[in-house]
C-alpha cells in the first residue's frame, strides 16, 4: 500500500522547524514505526526517532499522530492509508525536543525517580524460609499501574503539566501508586506525605487525557484518585485539594447538595478566603454566591447520612474503595436512535468526520 506521512522535523541547534512530506510503499500490516523505518532506510536517513522492541514493551516510540500521543509500533496504518489521509507526525508534548521526533526524557525520568519507583520492603519474613504469600485481590489493586512501560504518552497530553511543568504528572503518580498499593512495601505513609506536596496528587486537573492516551490501559487518573483516597483515609489531608474533596462529603451527608458558598473557606482557609472577598462580591452580584442560610436541602437527605454511617462501618476505604471495572470491561452502549454504527453517524451530512478523512480541517472551519 502507499502510505503518506507529514513529519515535523526539528533542529534544536538552529530552532528550525519544517513539515516534511514522505510517501512510501509499505506492506498492508505496517505500523507507523514500520513506515518510519522505511522512510529512514530508503528515503531520508537523517530522520530521527526512538525505537527498540517494536512490540509495545519498551516504550521508546511514543510520538504524536494528528496531535494525539501514540506508540508508533502499536499504530497500524492500513485504515489511514485506505482513507487517503496523510497524518501529521510530531514529537510528544510537554517534553523538550532534541531532534525531529526525539524528545529529551530527562524531566520525565527525574519525576519518575523522585517517587522512589522501587519496592522498599516492610513485611515480616515468614518463618522457615517460606514464601511471603499475598492474596490476589491485594495485588489487583495495583494491577493496572504495574502495566506502565514509561513511554510518556500520558505526560505528553497532561493539561495540568502544560500549565505547570513542575507537576509530577500522570506517569510518576501512577508509578507511585504501584508501590503505595503494594502490600509488601513498608513506606506507604512516607510516600503519601511526599505525594501530597505542592506539585503532587492535588495538582491533577482531571482532564482524563492520560486515561485516553495510555497505550497499556494503566488509567493514570484512576491511580491518582486512589492516591487521594488513601491519603485521606490515612489522615494526610492538609492539602487544599484534600480539603476541597472532603467538603463534598460533608455537604452530601448534611444537605445532600454541595454547600457551594462554604467551599472556598473550607478549601483555602478563612484568611485566604477573605482575600478573595472582592472577587466573591463581584460574583455575588450575579447570584453566583448562593447564601448558605437557609441551606438547600435534598428531600430524604437522612438517607445520605445513613448511607455514610453504614459505609463507615463496612470500612471499604481508601484505594480499596475504587472499583476499577475489571469485571465491567466493555463499553456502555449508546443505542443511537437510528441503529446506525458510529462510522455511519460520522458519515452523515453535518457530522464532523472521524480522523483520517482529509477534509476534516476544512469542514470544521467552513
Partner 1 sequence: MRVAYYKGCLASLSAKELDSATQALAPKVGLELVELESVTCCGAGDIHEAEPDYYLHLNARILAYAAAEGVDTLLTVCNVCTLNLRQANFILLGDSDVRARVNENLVSIGVPAYERDVDVRHLLWEIAEGEGYEKLKAAAHRGLKGLKIAPFYGCQILRPSRIQGFEDPDRPWSLERIIEACGGEAIDYPAKIKCCGFPIIQAREETALGELIQPIEQAVEAGADAMVTPCPLCHLSLDAWQSKLKAETGRDFKMPILHLSQLVGVAAGLQESELRFKRHVVSVKPMLEKIEV
| Whole-Å CA distances, 156 to 68, 73, 180 | 9, 17, 24
- Contact between 8 and partner 1 by CB under 8 A: the answer reads no
How many residues of this chain interact with partner 1, rule: CB under 8 A?
A: 96
- Contact between 229 and partner 1 by CB under 8 A: the answer reads yes
- Contact between 365 and partner 1 by CB under 8 A: the answer reads yes
Q: Check: CB of residue 90 under 8 Å from CB of residue 101.
A: yes
- Contact between 301 and partner 1 by CB under 8 A: the answer reads yes
Nearest to 153 by CA among 185, 120, 193, 108: 108
- Contact between 286 and partner 1 by CB under 8 A: the answer reads yes
> Residue 234 and residue 184: Cα distance in Å, rounded?
18
Please report, as residue ranges, which positions from 64 to 123 form the binding site for partner 1 (by CB under 8 A).
Answer: 66-68
Exactly one of 125, 296, 358, 359 binds partner 1 (CB under 8 A); that residue is: 296
Please report, as residue ranges, which positions from 162 to 221 form the binding site for partner 1 (by CB under 8 A).
Answer: 162-164, 167, 202-209, 211-212, 219, 221
Please, which residues have CB within 8 angstroms of residue 181's CB and are 6 or more apart in sequence? Answer: 141, 142, 145, 226, 230, 319
- Contact between 225 and partner 1 by CB under 8 A: the answer reads yes
Residue 219 has which C-alpha cell?
488509567
Nearest to partner 1 of 129, 330 (CB atom): 330
Nearest to partner 1 of 70, 81 (CB atom): 70
> Residue 37 and residue 317: Cα distance in Å, rounded?
49
- Contact between 337 and partner 1 by CB under 8 A: the answer reads yes
| Whole-Å CA distances, 219 to 170, 176, 233, 276 | 9, 13, 21, 35
> Smallest gap, in angstroms, from Cβ of residue 258 to partner 1?
4
- Contact between 147 and partner 1 by CB under 8 A: the answer reads no
> Smallest gap, in angstroms, from Cβ of residue 4 to partner 1?
19
Nearest to partner 1 of 116, 212 (CB atom): 212
Please report, as residue ranges, which positions from 33 to 72 form the binding site for partner 1 (by CB under 8 A).
Answer: 66-68
Nearest to partner 1 of 31, 196 (CB atom): 196
Strand boundaries in the chain, DSSP class E: 2-11, 16-25, 62-65, 68-71, 88-90, 97-99, 102-103
Q: Check: CB of residue 351 under 8 Å from CB of residue 336.
A: no
- Contact between 338 and partner 1 by CB under 8 A: the answer reads yes
- Contact between 300 and partner 1 by CB under 8 A: the answer reads yes
Amino acid at each position: 500500500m502507499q502510505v503518506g506521512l507529514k513529519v515535523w522535523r526539528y533542529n534544536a541547534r538552529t530552532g528550525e522547524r519544517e513539515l516534511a512530506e514522505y510517501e512510501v510503499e509499505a506492506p498492508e500490516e505496517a505500523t507507523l514505526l514500520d513506515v518510519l523505518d522505511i522512510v529512514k532506510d530508503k528515503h531520508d536517513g537523517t530522520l530521527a526517532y526512538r525505537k527498540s522492541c517494536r512490540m509495545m514493551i519498551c516504550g521508546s516510540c511514543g510520538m504524536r499522530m494528528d496531535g494525539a500521543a501514540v506508540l508508533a509500533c502499536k499504530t497500524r496504518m492500513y485504515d489511514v492509508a485506505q482513507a487517503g489521509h496523510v497524518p501529521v507526525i510530531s514529537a510528544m508534548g510537554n517534553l523538550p525536543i532534541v531532534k525531529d521526533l526525539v524528545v529529551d526524557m530527562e524531566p520525565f525520568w527525574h519525576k519518575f525517580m523522585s517517587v522512589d519507583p522501587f519496592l522498599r520492603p516492610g513485611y515480616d519474613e515468614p518463618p522457615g524460609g517460606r514464601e511471603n504469600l499475598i492474596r490476589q485481590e491485594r495485588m489487583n489493586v495495583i494491577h493496572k499501574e504495574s502495566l506502565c512501560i514509561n513511554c510518556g504518552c500520558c505526560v505528553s497530553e497532561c493539561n495540568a503539566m502544560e500549565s505547570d511543568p513542575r507537576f509530577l504528572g500522570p506517569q510518576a503518580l501512577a508509578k507511585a501508586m504501584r508501590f503505595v498499593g503494594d502490600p509488601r512495601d513498608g513506606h506507604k505513609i512516607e510516600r503519601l506525605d511526599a505525594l501530597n506536596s505542592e506539585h503532587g496528587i492535588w495538582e491533577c486537573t482531571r482532564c482524563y487525557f492520560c486515561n485516553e492516551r495510555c497505550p497499556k490501559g494503566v488509567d493514570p487518573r484512576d491511580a491518582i484518585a486512589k492516591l487521594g483516597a488513601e491519603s485521606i483515609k490515612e489522615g494526610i489531608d492538609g492539602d487544599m485539594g484534600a480539603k476541597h474533596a472532603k467538603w463534598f462529603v460533608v455537604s452530601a451527608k448534611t444537605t445532600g447538595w454541595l454547600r457551594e458558598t462554604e467551599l472556598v473557606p473550607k478549601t483555602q482557609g478563612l484568611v485566604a478566603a477573605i482575600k478573595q472577598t472582592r472577587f466573591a462580591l463581584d460574583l455575588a452580584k450575579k447570584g453566583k454566591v448562593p447564601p448558605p442560610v437557609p441551606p438547600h436541602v435534598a428531600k430524604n437527605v437522612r438517607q445520605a447520612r445513613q448511607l455514610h454511617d453504614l459505609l463507615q462501618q463496612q470500612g471499604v476505604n481508601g484505594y480499596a474503595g475504587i472499583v476499577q471495572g475489571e469485571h465491567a470491561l466493555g463499553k456502555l452502549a449508546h443505542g443511537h436512535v437510528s441503529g446506525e454504527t458510529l462510522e455511519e453517524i460520522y458519515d452523515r451530512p453535518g457530522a464532523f468526520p472521524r480522523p483520517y478523512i482529509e477534509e476534516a480541517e476544512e469542514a470544521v472551519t467552513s
